[in-house]
Amino acid sequence: MLKVGINGFGRIGRIAFRIGILKHASEIEFAAINTSGSMETSGWAHLVNYDTIYRKFEKEVKAEETKKIEAVTDEDPQIGNLLVDGKKIPVLAQKDPAKIPWGKYQVDVVIESTGRFTTEEDAKKHAAGGAKRVVISAPVKGGNVGTFILGVNEYKGEAQVLSNSSCTTNCVAPVAAVLHAKFGIEKAALTTAHGYTDDQNLQDNSHKDLRRARAAAENIVPTTTGAAISTTETIPELKGLFDGRALRVPLITGSITDLAAVLKKNVTVEEVNQAFKEAAENPLYKGILAVSEEPLVSSDIIGRSESAIVDLPLTQVIGGNLVKVFAWYDNEWGYANRLIEQVIRVGKTLGEGTKAPTDPLTLSWSK
């Protein structure tokens, strides 16, 4: 059984926890959870049990308090346990990743989901506490860390730290991979209409990004996205040829990416859509990429586990080789599904004689 630790019990950490328990209990065991220390254990249990978007958790999670937060020490940062399915999961409150005692709990893989420790140097601090591998749930911001997207490129066990990149990258990379493998991409740009996140303000207030300073639930907020650049880490032929922007919209989740690409050959809408229909049937994309011919809106995507749901009626071709493809994604639930699956793949590389799949979709199609 793969033992997993979570550092950062915010939106992604908690949703990944739910998914791990609901869908992968036979493959992984949560051995410890390190929190920000902003609440007692009972508070974290409450936020797992009740969620504004995903509603009440199917499992009952109870809290066992063992220590007040102010009594935490570096030697013993445990504040309590979460009780679920007859198991006790230690809850910690240690702000320094180098001091989290992962080894004490025999943790194999750490999910780094604080959003703070996204450089190689910071993420590797988990090794000081005994972690064997670290999966960052965000694009990396420094160091020699590989980006791996399920269905596009595969982790082979070569590094201690890897990035699962962002929800938008997990959406757009498979879409770009299909287009590039089938038709060839000369250059591309993306725009994602993305639900707001806790890096924005509830009301107008100070922020280093003056657009994100404005009220998240009342504005469309143009901002940056690293998804295009991260995608080129998984499809190196597109480096320098792909960029994008994000529009944060007044929704918590249910996002859509608009990918515009100049292709190397002329195509029709039917040919493009057929390529995605075939990709959706490819075992390499099972559960990762889907297609829809229904007139969907954002609320229809909530709770979908795929990384990308290509909206076929929205596909456009202009002048023969300028293509626009729209793909929906639940930027929380869909991403957290890939995160847990990535952790399981990483765990398999730790076992003797067990290797992760190494054939990306881009190698299985003729261009």
pLDDT, tens digit, for every residue of 221-248? 999 998 999 999 999 999 999 999 999 9
Active site residue 171: no
**Domain-embedded: residue 246:** yes
**Domain-embedded: residue 234:** yes
241 vs 248: CA distance, rounded Å? 24
**For position 57, which CATH number holds?**
3.40.50.720
Count of domains for the chain: 2
Residue 327 pLDDT: 99
**For position 256, which CATH number holds?**
3.30.360.10
Length of the chain (residues): 367
Residue 365 pLDDT: 26
DSSP code for 132 = S
Residue 175 near residue 325 (C-beta atoms within 8 A): yes
**Domain-embedded: residue 361:** no
| Residues 206 and 260 grouped into a single domain | yes
| Residues 188 and 273 grouped into a single domain | yes
**Domain-embedded: residue 348:** no
Residue 143 pLDDT: 81
| Residues 172 and 317 grouped into a single domain | yes
| Residues 128 and 183 grouped into a single domain | no
Cα 77 from chain centre? 27
Average pLDDT over residues 17-46: 98
pTM as predicted: 0.94
Q: List, in order, residues 6 or more apart from 155 with CB less than 8 Å away.
A: 146, 148, 162, 342, 345, 346, 349, 356
In the structure encoding, which two tokens stand for residue 119, read together?
Answer: 């450089």
Residue 234 pLDDT: 96
In the chain, pLDDT over 90 holds for what percent of residues? 93
Q: How many CB atoms lie within 10 A of CB 43?
A: 12
**Domain-embedded: residue 349:** no
| Residues 124 and 179 grouped into a single domain | no
| Residues 131 and 196 grouped into a single domain | no
Residue 162 near residue 135 (C-beta atoms within 8 A): yes
Residue 155 pLDDT: 92
Task: State yes or no: pLDDT of 358 exceeds 90.
Answer: no
In the structure encoding, which two tokens stand for residue 347, read together?
Answer: 């765990």
Residue 171 pLDDT: 98
**Domain-embedded: residue 347:** no
**Domain-embedded: residue 150:** no
| Residues 18 and 106 grouped into a single domain | yes
Split at pLDDT 50, 70, 90, the class of 325 is very high
pLDDT, the chain, mean: 94
**Domain-embedded: residue 287:** yes
Q: DSSP letters along 157-203, please?
A: S--SEEE---HHHHHHHHHHHHHHHHT-EEEEEEEEEEE--TTSBSS
Domain range for 72 is 2-138
| Residues 85 and 189 grouped into a single domain | no
| Placement of tokens 């730290």 in the chain | 161
Average pLDDT over residues 33-37: 96
| Residues 176 and 133 grouped into a single domain | no
| Residues 29 and 108 grouped into a single domain | yes
From 6, 31, 167, 172, the catalytic residue:
167
pLDDT, tens digit, for every residue of 112-171? 999 999 999 999 999 999 999 999 999 998 788 999 999 999 899 889 999 999 999 999
| Residues 304 and 180 grouped into a single domain | yes
| Residues 295 and 209 grouped into a single domain | yes
